[in-house]
Homo-oligomer: A and B are copies of this chain.
Amino acid sequence: MRLSKKGAAKPDPKEGADRTKDVLGGTEIRIAYKMGYVLNFYREPSFRKIEMELGITRPEIVTLIFLNFREGVTASEICEFSGHLKANISRGIIALEKKKLLRRDVDKNDNRRQRLYLTPAGRALYAKYIPALRERERAMLSCLSASERKLFEGLLDKLAEHVPHWTALDEL
C-alpha cells in the first residue's frame, strides 16, 4: 500500500483506484466487504447530511422513503425490509407523527397494527432530500454501461430474493 497522500479532498483518481484495488482484495470476505465499501461511501455521507440539515434520524429517513411508495405500511414491515430494529423504527414513527409528517390509523382487522400515511408535509420533506440521493446513485453507477447496470441489478435481485433462505427474520 502506498502511503503518500493526495493533495486535496478529491484524491488523484488514478492513484485512488490502484490503492482501492490493492486494499479491497485482501479480506476473507471479499464480496461482502466490497459491497460495504461502495455502499458506505454512497450512504453514510448522504444520510448524515440529511440528518444534520433536516433534523431527522436515520429510521425517520427510511420510514419516509417507504411511505412514499407504499402508504398504509406498518412499522414491522418497515423493519422487515429496512433492517432497522423495531425499537428504532417505533421511535422514528413517534417522532415523525409529533412533527406531523405522518399520520397513523389503527388497523380495523388487527388492533395491534397501525397503518401509516404521509401527510403533505411529510411528502414535501421527502421531496427535499431524495433528489440528492438519486443523483448520488447515478454518479456511483456512472462507471457501468447500461447493460452492465442491468446485469448488476439482475444479480442483486437474485441475491435479494434469496435473503429469506439464509437469514431468519427474528435476527432483526
Contacts and interface: CB of A to CB of B under 8 A. Distances in A.
A83 B157 CA distance: 25
A34 B160 contact: yes
Contact of A152 (B81, B144, B155): B155
Contacts of A160: 20-21, 24, 34, 37-38
A65 interface: yes
A45 interface: yes
B37 A39 contact: no
Q: Chain A contact residues (Cβ within 8 angstroms of B): what range?
A: 35 or more
B171 A158 contact: no
A47 to B, nearest CB: 10
Copies in the complex: 2
Chain A at the B interface: SS class:
helix
A164 B36 contact: no
B31 A153 contact: yes
Contacts of A33: 65
Interface in A7-33: 9-11, 13, 16-17, 20-21, 23-24, 26-33
Interface string A133-163: 1101101111110001101110111111111
Interface of A: 1, 6, 9-11, 13, 16-17, 20-21, 23-24, 26-45, 65, 68-70, 73, 77, 81-83, 130, 133-134, 136-137, 139-144, 148-149, 151-153, 155-172
Given A9-B170, A24-B160, A151-B155, 7 more contacts: A16-B164, A28-B68, A28-B133, A32-B43, A41-B171, A44-B83, A44-B172
